[in-house]
Amino acid sequence: MRPSSPVRSRRATRRGQSGAFLLEALVGVLIFAFGILGLVGLQAVAIRNTNDLQYRGEAIQIANAAMGRMWTMNRPDIEAMYEGDAGTGGSGYTALVEAAERLPGVKGVDALAPTVTVVAGPSSTSNLVTVTIRWQLPGEATPHQYVGAVMVGLNN
């Protein structure tokens, strides 16, 4: 038997390893791509949460503005102007619906229209007023809502 030369053994080793570097590079690119996809997914969730917080802030502002106006009214005026649900209510309720239409999914008086409930308070001169603002983001099955409550006393 003839002893193998060092040149021949190096060639055989190179032939057995051909393509290994390419495979390592492809695996590295695959791992990098999964990392990028994860970052894009996190960015999408962050944008969606930012939009939800923006609309929640608007709903809070709309409800608080309506409740602030109610503090300056007498008890019979509150019931006449604001108590509304599904198309009823006075000019205050109409203004509340118009303000709520800035939120996504709210179109006039429908299932997502704001509701105002006026209940007699603990005294004969006060009311417990609850304002509910709803909105629904595109692509979501369930609506979001903000409920604000305030005790309004006699303002004579």
| CA distance to 38, 137, 143, 144, 148, per residue, from 51 (Å) | 20, 9, 14, 12, 21
- Average pLDDT on 106-110 reads 71
pLDDT digits (tens, 9 = 90+) for 27-86: 999 999 999 999 999 999 999 888 889 999 999 999 999 888 888 887 778 878 876 554
What phi and psi values does residue 69 have, to the nearest 5 degrees? -65, -35
Please tell me the pTM assigned to this model: 0.68
Quote the CA–CA distance of 97 and 62 in Å, as a whole number.
10
pLDDT at site 13: 57
pLDDT at site 60: 93
**Residue-range domain boundaries for the chain:** 6-152
pLDDT at site 82: 78
Average predicted confidence (pLDDT) for the chain? 81
Place of tokens 């006039």: 108
